[in-house]
A and B are shown apart, each in its own frame.
Chain A
Amino acid sequence: MQDCANWALETAKRRGATYADARVMDIRIRDISTKNGEVGTLAESESLGIGIRVIANGSWGFASTDRLTREGVQACAAEAVAIAKASALAKREDVALAPEAAYVDTWQNPFLKDPFRIPVERQIDLLLAADKEMRRVKGVTVAEGSMCFRRIEQLFASTAGSSIHQIKMQSGAGIVALSFAGSEIQKRSYPNSFGGQHMLAGYELVESLDLLRHAPRIAEESVALHSAAQCPEGQRTLILDSSQLGLQVHESIGHPIELDRVLGMEANFAGMSFLTIDKLRKLQYGSEIVNVVADARLEHGPGLGTFAYDDEGVPAQCTPIISDGLFTGYLTSRDTAAAIGEKRSGGTMRCESWNRLPMIRMTNISLNPGAWSYDHLVADSDDAILMETNRSWSIDDRRYHFQFSTEIGWEIKSGKKYRMLKNPSYSGITTEFWNSCDAICSRDHWTLWGTPNCGKGQPMQTMGTGHGASPARFRNVKIGAAFAK
């Protein structure tokens, strides 16, 4: 890997680059899925290549190749420089980078069991056993299970002198029960939608999920939803479970704080952000109990946004995003930090693979825990609706107006779960919603969720992000608009 990186950097400099960095990445993936008692996907893949990013004539260029011979890498580096010079045809000003030291380091996330060393047969057996448990329940029409494992080994090297070797091991698993009856398809997932839970961890994550124990419950709930009452419409008190709240954080905090969006760089595709620069350290984003961080450090937890260095060689950091309700920070890169006068990048540049340009991505964007116990929160709620497990999510391209629906809801009356509700949904405006938060559960109920499917950029990149959250309560929220006539 180091040889390839050196060939790239030397060629880029020789061709006129004033800065260059290279990422050599070796990615191995195992995907397994089952459906209704049969194996669906059973595949392994590996991909090795190099991505070379340069500044020449004051503009960015990027090229990538999987031809890792000296000739192949040098041609790729030369192409990156040529592309940068073409970019300069439409240049308004030279790219400037916030300063960063050079690092020589190696890092690997801790895990107990290498999922690629666990026999595939054992992994399939577990999914098929959970599948069988779900299909025991009368009315379940489709039972699905999946596991995904990913090992990413990468070397980052730059003309500034960095050489950073990292290995990240990710694991994920989940199960789903679907039930069709009458004119409805109902669904329950465990432990979350989007393939379950995903973390920077080994196979021990899958074992900790105890899929077999939860399979009958979600199967029964998917069938029971057909005879549940329709979620009512109106302004109500809302309690979100931690997985749905994690996605709420992702969509209505994580994306709008991306500084490349704010600066208009995503305007044509992912959109922009309502969080214009004038709002920094001035906007009351949420109520005073709302505290959110962007934390890529391992001490935050083994999330999909955890690493030692980002993909432009900046060490992992914890950035306060919302402090006592006040908006205090963006997700930044070296060039966007420089553009708004910040002294240093927040270290959030990441790329999906060797053939993609690093861009600002969420790390672990987490809502800090509050003080409430879950039982106390429910008991304290006279008339509320509890919503669990995301089913549908949508938000406008500046991240103001959102609408979410969940797989299941519960009406809470006089501090107790009163009845199950089907087709729950809620909608609102981001800042109004976060300012209506009046209770957040404690760390005992806090989970660092993995969202493996965050899309951004052109060409599109899919990235895993982490979101810690515990259940929380919001007042006067619009409920049920998704099904309103």
Chain B
Amino acid sequence: MTPSASRAAKSSRRRAKSSQSARVPPDLRLDLEALGEKILKLSGADETEVEINLGTDALTRFANNTIHQNVAEQTLHISVRAVVDGRTARASTNKTDPESLRHIVSAAAQLARNQPRNPDLLPMLASQKYAKVSRFSPATAGTTPQIRAREVVKVCRLAEKAKQTSAGIFSSGHSQSLLMNSEGLLARYEQTRAEFSVTMLEENSSGWAKATSFDIREIDPVALAESASRKAATSRNPRELAPDHYTAILEPAAVLDLVGFLFYDFAGTAIRDKLSCLTGRLGKKLFSDSITLWDDVYHPLQLGEPFDGEGVPRQKILLIDRGVPKNLAYSRATAKKMKAKPTGHGFALPNEHGEAPTNLVWSGGDKSIDDMVASTERGVLVTRLWYIRDVDPYKKILTGMTRDGTFLVENGRIAGGIRNFRFNQSVMEMLANVEMLGPAVRSSGEESFDMVVPAMKVKNFHFSEATKF
């Protein structure tokens, strides 16, 4: 089907408005909707879906107190999904010439024909209504290599003054995405994103800090570098502590990288496939009363599109209610199989994974890290974690290392740095052992996606071995 005349007229008005916008950099003036409509017209499939992503990203990387990598990219991704006689497949390109567009349209249809019918395939969605989210910052979109370099120079100078070595990144980017199909669905999203992370190193210690936001003005590289610098200085000459079960004070980035491993456990498909740690456990009290978890793309500290891979509007879902896992995320197909309602968390089709919540928002508390330290007789304060992997997917035992700022806490005070630990810890047990929560903040690690998460004080955390630094 081709778009209706009224929708075409509306989209023309939107295009006219968009082309007058001064905030859009020249490289992003490609008219996504016109391109999408052009592709839909080329298709002879029963149903056709077009996804287009357009972006610019730039990243300044520094180490040894100097910039050593500095990159920029422009990318366009055009993806076509065709449905032919109850079968579906996808073809993608970054070329916009007519021949290439015709090729991906026919390639998607041809791939679709060469497989068995899919009894679970649902008709494509018609037009949907989406809540507005505003995640565009002109300041971020307009960030230049010179702006990033000037901030990096300040951080390098700060490191030199402290007789430390800095390494990190400062990045900025701007992306637009569009999803439309032959049944009249049209979803658009625009976002900017900035990130700064820094590691400050001394001879035998290090500290780390990181922040992300859609608005680069929310990020203070020097303040982050100062925080990392203090950690490196405080953890100087680390002592070796015997591996054992300790009370752990986990800063938000460390919590994030652990609890992020739970995200797919809340997928309806994971429950159907018996791959979730929640199989047979939904509705049971598993975690501390203080643990409540939402998936909420509309939260002011979250980023991301308000629609899923098929264009279903994302819903806010209560995943854990005061320690009890309550609800799951569902794509359309999974929802039908499990007699539930789609929640707007499906991945782009075709795929074998179904869906997952990716905008996690954890409940917080009112305790500061200082409160947690002051209340701890003997424990370990962890800045961040590294190389986390599943050991047992049903007990949800994870292994990994502490990194860049691990401290011994004794008698309510930080007693100094300690050598990094390996842990083997069930996240399920960890969330049952929570003693204190900090305020939930937007946080970012390296093992999981960004989320809104608090610092946690947990008892009986299993640090199983120590490394040499």
User: Taking beta carbons and an 8 Å cutoff, which residues of A are in contact with B?
Assistant: 33-36, 38-49, 59-67, 76, 79-80, 82-84, 86-87, 89-92, 119-121, 124, 128, 141-142, 144, 178, 180, 183-185, 263-269, 271, 274, 355-357, 392-398, 400-401, 403, 405, 423, 425, 427, 429, 458-459, 478, 481-484
Hey, which chain B residues are within 8 Å of A89, CB to CB? 67, 146, 149-150, 153
A21–chain B nearest beta-carbon distance, Å:
14
A266–chain B nearest beta-carbon distance, Å:
8
Q: List 22 A-B contacts (CB under 8 A).
A: A41-B350, A41-B351, A42-B350, A46-B104, A64-B71, A65-B74, A86-B149, A89-B149, A89-B153, A120-B114, A178-B273, A180-B275, A183-B394, A264-B64, A266-B167, A274-B468, A393-B389, A394-B422, A395-B401, A458-B171, A482-B424, A483-B392
Check if A396 sits within 8 Å of B115, measured CB to CB.
Answer: no
Check if A268 sits within 8 Å of B274, measured CB to CB.
Answer: no
Check if B94 sits within 8 Å of A47, measured CB to CB.
Answer: yes
A211–chain B nearest beta-carbon distance, Å:
17
Hey, which chain A residues are within 8 Å of B433, CB to CB? none
Q: Does B198 contact A (CB under 8 A)?
A: yes
Check if B391 sits within 8 Å of A405, measured CB to CB.
Answer: yes
Closest to A265 in B: B63
Q: Which of A39, A67, A84, A271 contacts B74 (CB 8 A)?
A: A67
Q: Sorted from nearest, which 10 A-B pairs have the closest CB atoms?
A: A40-B352, A86-B145, A180-B274, A401-B467, A45-B92, A267-B167, A35-B352, A268-B167, A121-B114, A43-B90
Q: Does B52 contact A (CB under 8 A)?
A: no
Closest to B64 in A: A264
Bound form: Cα–Cα A289–B208 in Å: 40
B235–chain A nearest beta-carbon distance, Å:
14
Interface centre among B58, B76, B115 (most CB of A within 10 A): B115
Bound form: Cα–Cα A97–B66 in Å: 17
* Contact digits for B266-297, partner A, Cβ 8 Å, 1 yes 0 no: 00000001110001000000000000000000
Check if A39 sits within 8 Å of B394, measured CB to CB.
Answer: no
Check if A90 sits within 8 Å of B424, measured CB to CB.
Answer: no
Hey, which chain B residues are within 8 Å of A47, CB to CB? 92-94
Interface centre among A33, A184, A397, A478 (most CB of B within 10 A): A397
Bound form: Cα–Cα A355–B75 in Å: 8
Check if B89 sits within 8 Å of A42, measured CB to CB.
Answer: yes
Q: Which of B59, B273, B392 contacts A458 (CB 8 A)?
A: B59
Q: Does B435 contact A (CB under 8 A)?
A: no
Bound form: Cα–Cα A98–B378 in Å: 52
Bound form: Cα–Cα A393–B390 in Å: 9
B120–chain A nearest beta-carbon distance, Å:
7
Interface centre among B100, B120, B199, B208 (most CB of A within 10 A): B199
Task: Take A35-B352, A90-B152 as given contacts and tell me if A458 and B61 are in contact as well, using a CB distance cutoff of 8 Å.
Answer: yes
Q: Is chain B's interface secondary structure helix, strand, loop, or mixed overall?
A: strand
Check if B401 sits within 8 Å of A63, measured CB to CB.
Answer: no
User: Taking beta carbons and an 8 Å cutoff, which residues of B are in contact with A?
Assistant: 57-76, 79, 88-95, 100, 104, 107, 111-112, 114-116, 118, 120, 144-146, 148-150, 152-153, 156, 165, 167-169, 171, 197-199, 201, 206, 208, 273-275, 279, 350-353, 386-395, 397, 399-401, 403, 420, 422, 424, 446, 464-469
Closest to A91 in B: B66
Q: Please give 4 more A-B residue pairs, beta carbons under 8 A apart, in addition to A44-B92, A178-B273.
A: A268-B169, A268-B208, A397-B386, A482-B464
Check if B465 sits within 8 Å of A263, measured CB to CB.
Answer: no
Bound form: Cα–Cα A371–B243 in Å: 39
Q: Which of A86, A119, A142, A394 contacts B275 (CB 8 A)?
A: A142
Bound form: Cα–Cα A44–B199 in Å: 39
Bound form: Cα–Cα A183–B66 in Å: 51
Q: Which of A80, A84, A482 contacts B391 (CB 8 A)?
A: A482
B80–chain A nearest beta-carbon distance, Å:
10
Check if B394 sits within 8 Å of A79, measured CB to CB.
Answer: no
Interface centre among A42, A44, A144, A481 (most CB of B within 10 A): A42
Q: Which of A40, A41, A79, A481 contacts B465 (CB 8 A)?
A: A481
Bound form: Cα–Cα A324–B91 in Å: 50
Q: Which of A42, A269, A393 contacts B90 (CB 8 A)?
A: A42
Task: Take A40-B352, A183-B394 as given contacts and tell me if A92 and B388 are in contact as well, using a CB distance cutoff of 8 Å.
Answer: no
Hey, which chain A residues are within 8 Å of B152, CB to CB? 90
Check if A66 sits within 8 Å of B387, measured CB to CB.
Answer: no
Q: Which of B88, B153, B274, B395 contacts A90 (CB 8 A)?
A: B153
Bound form: Cα–Cα A274–B469 in Å: 10
Task: Take A47-B94, A427-B422 as given contacts and tell me if A41 and B352 are in contact as well, using a CB distance cutoff of 8 Å.
Answer: yes
Bound form: Cα–Cα A90–B148 in Å: 11
Closest to A64 in B: B73
Bound form: Cα–Cα A263–B64 in Å: 8
B8–chain A nearest beta-carbon distance, Å:
27
Bound form: Cα–Cα A64–B76 in Å: 12
B155–chain A nearest beta-carbon distance, Å:
9
Bound form: Cα–Cα A267–B165 in Å: 10
Hey, which chain B residues are within 8 Å of A394, CB to CB? 387-389, 399-401, 422
B55–chain A nearest beta-carbon distance, Å:
10
Check if A267 sits within 8 Å of B72, measured CB to CB.
Answer: no
Check if A92 sits within 8 Å of B64, measured CB to CB.
Answer: yes
Bound form: Cα–Cα A119–B111 in Å: 9
Bound form: Cα–Cα A268–B210 in Å: 10
A365–chain B nearest beta-carbon distance, Å:
18
Bound form: Cα–Cα A65–B54 in Å: 12
Check if A65 sits within 8 Å of B394, measured CB to CB.
Answer: no
Bound form: Cα–Cα A34–B352 in Å: 7
Hey, which chain A residues are within 8 Å of B60, CB to CB? 86-87
Task: Take A64-B72, A483-B424 as given contacts and tell me if A45 and B391 are in contact as well, using a CB distance cutoff of 8 Å.
Answer: no
Check if A482 sits within 8 Å of B62, measured CB to CB.
Answer: no
Hey, which chain A residues are within 8 Å of B469, CB to CB? 396, 398, 400
Hey, which chain A residues are within 8 Å of B392, CB to CB? 184, 423, 483
Hey, which chain B residues are within 8 Å of A395, CB to CB? 387, 401
